Amino acid sequence: MKGKILIVEDEQKLREVLCDYLSNKGEIPFEARDGMEALKLLEEHEFDAVLLDIMMPKLNGLTQYVFRELSEKGMEFAAYAYRVGQFDYFYEDYGEDEWVESRRQMPGAVEYAMNRAIEGSGASIFSPSYDYYPEPYLPEWLNILRGGARCETAIAFLDGDGTVLRQDSNFLYFGYVPQEEWDAGRDNSTAYGWIDLGGEEDARYSGLRAIYKEDKSLWDLLSLRLTGYFEGSRFEPVSMDILTMGSYYSALERVTPRDQGSVEETEEENQTPRLGSSATNSGSGGGERPAYTVSQLDAMGLVNWDRSFDNTAFAQQELVTIYAMYPDMNLYEPGEPVVYREAERYETLTDLLATMDYYVEEGSNIYTGASKFSLWDAVFFDSLSIRDRTGEASSQALSPEVEFTLVTALRASPLRIAMGFLTRVYVFTFLFTCLGFLLLRRGMGKHLVAPVQAVNAGIEEGWTHLGKFREKRPKWAETDALIEHYIDTQDTLRRNKNEIARLNAALEYAEKAEENRRQMTSHIAHQLKTPLAVIHSYAEGLKEHVAEEKRDRYLDVILAEAERTDGMVLEMLDLSRLEAGKVKLSRDDFSLIALTRSVFERLEIAAKAKNLQVDFSFPEEFTVTADESRIAQVIENFAANAVKYTPTGGHVAVTIENNRGKASFVIENDSRPLSSQALGKVWDAFYRGDEAATVEGTGLGLAIAKRIVELHGGRCSVRNTAGGVEFRFTI
């Protein structure tokens, strides 16, 4: 029955099973007084353990899996720690293996193995993989749901009297080189030692704790220079200096190698490798080593040691200096207090393990596992008697004496672990359900709700265009048919509307063209009537042979009116060409400020005649690119208009602005504000307001100016101000 775990419901059932088992083997039945005694009897009859199922009579599924994993790990944890510590090198026969033999002879090697077992042994429970249960329960693609839970463990080593030799604590362990070996240029460990780090209140090792807490290792720490004294293999330092791998390689870069880089190691140089490493220089793990050892670089004065603390001035013992190579570290993390046998409370699992009275068998070195089985808090004990089975020690007796005993405790909460694993599944299921719901909602919204909403909105807004559904049709047949009918109806309505709009536009254009023609004819006739009448009347006077002294004056009037008529005709032709887009603009680079000044110089006489005050507000000189002659025509029209309509003694303000590459010309003059009708028609050809009726002009200047500015890609505007009217153009 070795290797079996017996699960029974209560202690009475346990006694019955044991009696039945022993009776079938032909032995005398017995009756255990309690569960504790039954466990001891069970151990004697080669059962591994018994699980009292009083708290969990119907465990199944994931909880049963977790409990079984915990029990197997807990009841084999001592053997696992034995392998981690590599005790087989010391207590099992390897024949004539010089490397193993050299390790056995190194001082402190057994304590080093104990420290290694304590530091390197841990236990974790992982949720079952896809191949643990049949596929309907956990298929392969659900391996993403696997999780892990770390268990609380405790390890102790006991001598034959039950005294604790080593146990879980805060310590640093290492192989070291004595000072004389170091001075000889060798840095291969020749002995092992360890340091008790104490609690967090010991500030000497705060730096090491900080490094270790990063990733639970001292991977960059190459060596410690320790000065202090030994108590057995434990070293009590009074000063400590630290050397990192980075400092070592920095030193290598500052020295010329003996043989251009590296040398092959020899067996003589690797007589005492680091415990657990291959036969290389100080456990470096390769067949080559750097051209200089750490001790050689230290002798050259190239190694920078970082001083951690120095209390040598207060030391009273004889001190020695050693060099700890590649140290390892263990920081014990106590868990929650342990309640054992529902009455005894221990602050940590290690405290419980150190109380040997509860599971040591009197008069022997066998520690029976009085494990605590509970859904919420299970504790599994295990022990392993370590005997020397090498060479002569093995041949002296069939069962060599026990050197020491390895005892372990593993603690976890099966129910909490199972709940944690299930939480991952539940969370994943919830997220998967939410994702499915969102995908379904998105699909319905995209392929059903959105098309229906678009059709409803399109109908409400007058059968608007549904462009996106023309490019990408809905995937659902019903909504696709709905969109198809909507598009067909929309196209029919659009064709009808387009035809109606075309006919209305043609009619409106014809009416407007006719109205414009009549207005144009009326304006032209009105504008030409006055000068022609003057020419006609003065020509008749000449024909009547007026007095000789009046002939020259009559001729001057006839010529002036003819020139006025000619200018009017030229302006009408210019406006016609601008509206027809037949005017080609030149590209000139010129100063808008200089052009403005020259225009107002030509109007200076007219402005002084009306006693006008003209103010200029110009920025720094800048250049614009446009048709200079046409822009001059625009400025002259604006300026002449302002001078013409400003009352005597009035004010004219001229401003030029340069804003991000756009130039603006602004002219404001005193006058009565324009009516809303006048503001809307001021740019129309032949339009003249009520006030303009008494002023000479054709009504084409502003219309021509607007067309010129628009040909340049600019725009014109007019507005009433507090004291007059402002005209502006921007190009």
pLDDT surpassing 80 at residue 84: yes
Domain end position, chosen among 296, 331, 366: 331
Q: Is the pLDDT of residue 238 over 90?
A: yes
Neighbour count for residue 25 (Cβ, 10 Å)? 8
Answer for the pair 411, 372: CB distance below 8 angstroms, yes or no: no
Residues 6+ apart with CB under 8 A from 633: 704, 705, 708
In a domain, 594, yes or no: yes
In a domain, 625, yes or no: yes
d(CA 487, CA 499): 18
Residues 6+ apart with CB under 8 A from 46: 1, 2
Q: How many residues does the chain have?
A: 731
> Strands 5-8, 171-178: parallel, antiparallel or unpaired by DSSP?
unpaired
Of 70-74, 90-94, 425-429, 716-720, give the lowest mean pLDDT range. Answer: 425-429
Q: What is the domain extent for residue 601?
A: 584-730
Could you tell me the pLDDT band of residue 139, with boundaries at 50, 70 and 90?
Answer: low
Confidence category of residue 382, pLDDT binned at 50, 70, 90: confident
How big is the chain by its Cα radius of gyration, in Å? 54
pLDDT band at 240 (very low <50, low <70, confident <90, very high): very high
CB 658 within 8 A of CB 619: yes
Which residues have a Cβ under 8 Å from the Cβ of 462 and sit 6 or more positions away? none
Task: Please name which of 605, 73, 699, 28 lies closest in space to residue 382, comparing C-alpha atoms.
Answer: 73
297/302 Cα distance (integer angstroms): 6
Mean pLDDT rounded to a whole number for the chain: 77
pLDDT recorded at residue 575: 67
- How many structural domains comprise the chain? 2
Residue 534 lies in a domain: no
Amino acid at 269: E
Min mean pLDDT across 141-150, 160-169, 286-295 is at 141-150
Strand, helix or coil for residue 695: coil
CATH of the domain at 695: 3.30.565.10
Adjacent-strand bridge partners of 164: 158
- Cα 615 to Cα 668: distance, rounded to the nearest angstrom: 10
Beta bridge partners of 264: 288
pLDDT of residue 662: 86
Check if the beta carbon of residue 600 is closer than 8 Å to that of residue 654: yes
Cβ–Cβ < 8 Å for 669, 652: yes
Last residue of a domain, which of 286, 306, 331? 331
Q: How far apart are CA 380 and CA 78, in angstroms?
A: 11
User: Average pLDDT of 679-691?
Assistant: 72
Model pLDDT for residues 202-212, shown as the tens digit of each residue: 889 988 988 88
Average pLDDT over residues 23-47: 49
Give the model's confidence band at 34: pLDDT under 50 very low, under 70 low, under 90 confident, else very high: very low
Helices 61-74 & 77-85, crossing angle to 10 degrees? 50
In a domain, 513, yes or no: no
Q: Percent of the chain scored above 90 by pLDDT? A: 16
Ordered DSSP codes for 536-550: HHHHHHHHTT--HHH
Judged by average pLDDT, the poorest of 235-239, 333-337, 350-354 is: 350-354
pLDDT on residue 234: 94
* Each residue's pLDDT tens digit, 641-675: 888 889 888 999 999 998 877 889 999 998 888 88
Average pLDDT over residues 147-159: 87
Supply the pLDDT for residue 270: 39
Structure confidence at residue 448 (pLDDT):
83
The answer as to whether 81 is a domain residue is: no
Q: What is the pLDDT of residue 666?
A: 93
pLDDT at 17: 61
Say if 402 falls within a structural domain.
Answer: no
pLDDT above 70 covers a percentage of the chain that reads 74
Please report the pLDDT score of residue 268 as a whole number: 41
Residue 20 inside a domain? The answer is no
Say how far apart CA 637 and CA 190 lie, in whole Å: 108
What pLDDT is stored for residue 3 in this prediction? 38
Residue 688 has pLDDT above 80, yes or no: no
Report the Cα 425 to chain-centroid distance in Å: 26
- The pairing of strands 221-231 and 320-330 is antiparallel
Quick one: pLDDT at residue 15? 55
Q: What is the pLDDT of residue 37?
A: 52
282 pLDDT above the threshold of 80: no
Answer whether residue 361 is part of any domain.
Answer: no
Contacts of 287 (CB under 8 A, 6+ apart): 264, 265, 280
N-terminal to C-terminal alpha carbon distance within the chain: 104
Main-chain phi, psi angles of 181, to 5 degrees:
-70, -40
CB atoms within 10 A of CB 145: 19
The angle subtended at Cα 428 by Cα 422 and Cα 433, nearest 5°, is 125
Could you tell me the pLDDT band of residue 636, with boundaries at 50, 70 and 90? confident
Secondary structure class of 691 (helix, strand, coil): helix
Distance CA 104, CA 101 (A): 5
Mean pLDDT of 529-544: 75
pLDDT at residue number 338: 80
Last residue of a domain, one of 287, 316, 331: 331
